[in-house]
Amino acid sequence: MQASAGSGRDQILLEARGITKYFGAVTALEGVNLKLSRGEVLGVVGDNGAGKSTLMKVLSGLFRPSEGEILIQGQPVQFNSPRDSHKAGIEMVYQDLALAGNMPIFENIYLGREPGRRVGGLTIVNHAESRKLAAEHLARLQIHVKSVDQNVEDLSGGQRQAVAIARATAFDAKVVIMDEPTAALAIKEVGKVLDLIKRLKDHGVGVILISHRMDDVFYVCDRVMAIFHGRNFAEAPLKDTNRNEVIGWIMGTKGHAAGLAHDKVH
């Protein structure tokens, strides 16, 4: 989460070039490009099955791209597993949250990267340290929970989302990818999660937000790009577009003038 020294705001953190992904005979992605700068929130929109989630799984190392390359701060990288993308500073918050409900908050935050002593190939976990770090990290993100010892299954949807985001940012993440972070939340919890995204942005983290909710996109994003049938369809800074145009992109239409919008009030 720390800003690396001397880096400008427009520095490209993450770049994907010509990403193509086949699943057997199915082409899920074809030549998709994506750029993300420090402290930028990029909204990625597209209809169900457009390829958003596949693209994010490629970026987070869960899928290997069939073609194309990924660059981190200009350096080409290859991800063979989520572990590789973690090392490169890319974290993903999954739609289904990917938390172990049977385990406490602090263990979920450090799952797979437990602080502790390495003894002969095994890590002896320092649970006290883990608890302390988790509490400090949650406080930094202004996430309030009763206790870091609470099991995740005892939390509300919004709290779980917050824990998932906390986990994603616990290790100086440069890029956090969020797949529909507000889809399963009660309305009053949505605002908290969106504010959390703004806080990440203030810390210099680049955020990719996949969302169907135009309210979310237009509340937190700096730029929005649309994917249609597995390809780049359109892209614009948020200030140069509007909801109706973006909704048109999702459906695969361009030049959707504001005047044609069905909900235009004359």
Partner 1 sequence: MADASKSATVAAPHEFQRSLRSRLLEDYGILLVVVGMAVVLSILQPDYFLSAQNLTNIVRQIGMNALLALGLYIVIVTAGIDLSVGSVMALSIMLLAMADKAGAPWPLVLLVGPFVGTLIGVINGLGLTLLRLPHPFIMTLGTLNAVRGLCNLVSGGQPVSGISDEVRFIGIADIPLPFGGEFAVIPVSAILLLVCYAGVAWFMKKVALGRHIFAVGGNPQAARVSGINVNGVLVFVYAASGFFAGLAALLMAGRTGSGYPNLGIGAELDAIAAVIIGGASFFGGRGSVLGVFAGVLVMGLLRNGLNLMNISAFWQQTLIGVIIILAVWIDVLRRNSGTRT
Separation of alpha carbons 248 and 176, rounded Å: 27
Quote the least distance from Cβ 33 to partner 1, whole Å: 25
Quote the least distance from Cβ 54 to partner 1, whole Å: 15
The upper half-sphere exposure of residue 96, i.e. CA atoms within 13 Å in the direction of its Cβ, equals: 4
Quote the least distance from Cβ 266 to partner 1, whole Å: 34
Residue 59 CA, distance from chain mean position: 10
Instruction: Pick the closer one to partner 1 by CB: 151 or 253.
Output: 151
Quote the least distance from Cβ 151 to partner 1, whole Å: 6
Instruction: Pick the closer one to partner 1 by CB: 127 or 199.
Output: 127
Quote the least distance from Cβ 173 to partner 1, whole Å: 14
HEC profile for the chain? CCCCCCCCCCCEEEEEEEEEEEECCEEEEEEEEEEEECCCEEEEECCCCCCHHHHHHHHCCCCCCCEEEEEECCEEECCCCHHHHHHCCEEEECCCCCCCCCCEHHHHHCCCCCCEEEECCEEEECHHHHHHHHHHHHHHCCCCCCCCCCEHHHCCHHHHHHHHHHHHCCCCCCEEEEECCCCCCCHHHHHHHHHHHHHHHHCCCEEEEECCCHHHHHHHCCEEEEEECCEEEEEEEHHHCCHHHHHHHHCCCCCCCHHHCCCCCC
Instruction: Pick the closer one to partner 1 by CB: 37 or 159.
Output: 159
Interface ranges with partner 1 (CB under 8 A):
60, 62, 81-83, 86, 92, 94, 96-103, 107-108, 111-114, 116, 122-125, 127, 146-147, 150-151, 154, 156-158, 186-189
Instruction: Pick the closer one to partner 1 by CB: 82 or 252.
Output: 82
Instruction: Pick the closer one to partner 1 by CB: 15 or 107.
Output: 107
Instruction: Pick the closer one to partner 1 by CB: 122 or 265.
Output: 122
Instruction: Pick the closer one to partner 1 by CB: 99 or 226.
Output: 99
What distances in angstroms separate CA 153 from CA 17, 86, 108, one per listed residue?
39, 25, 11
Quote the least distance from Cβ 125 to partner 1, whole Å: 5
Quote the least distance from Cβ 193 to partner 1, whole Å: 13
